[in-house]
Structure 1
Amino acid sequence: MIKQKQEDLRGESCLVFHTKDQRVIHVVCSPKVEYLAIITAYLPAADQWSADFKVRK
């Protein structure tokens, strides 16, 4: 997990990432009582993130 927000407009949310075959994806999600809501998923731009894609420049 990269970042967790307790007071987001959509309620609690978090930014997670996954790497496979040197490709990184970021997913913003919000845990609900009965499901996990996926808010957005994107391929982060290398020029906007640190080398490990965990810290925005």
Structure 2
Amino acid sequence: MLSNFLNQITPDLTANLLTLSVISRIGKLLEAAPMKKPNPVDANMVRIQNQKES
């Protein structure tokens, strides 16, 4: 009975651990990568400034 219980739980546990490790890896990559995407608000401010100048 215990082995059946473990057999049911283990795949889920393994999948969850894999998912967690992938998520943490992506998180670390995002932290390490410099943010190149401008903030939408900043982009709008730049557009407004450009319109005023032209």
TM-score (norm 2): 0.17
More helix by share: 2
More strand by share: 1
TM-score (norm 1): 0.17
- Bigger RCO of structures 1 and 2 (CA < 8 A, at least 6 apart): 1
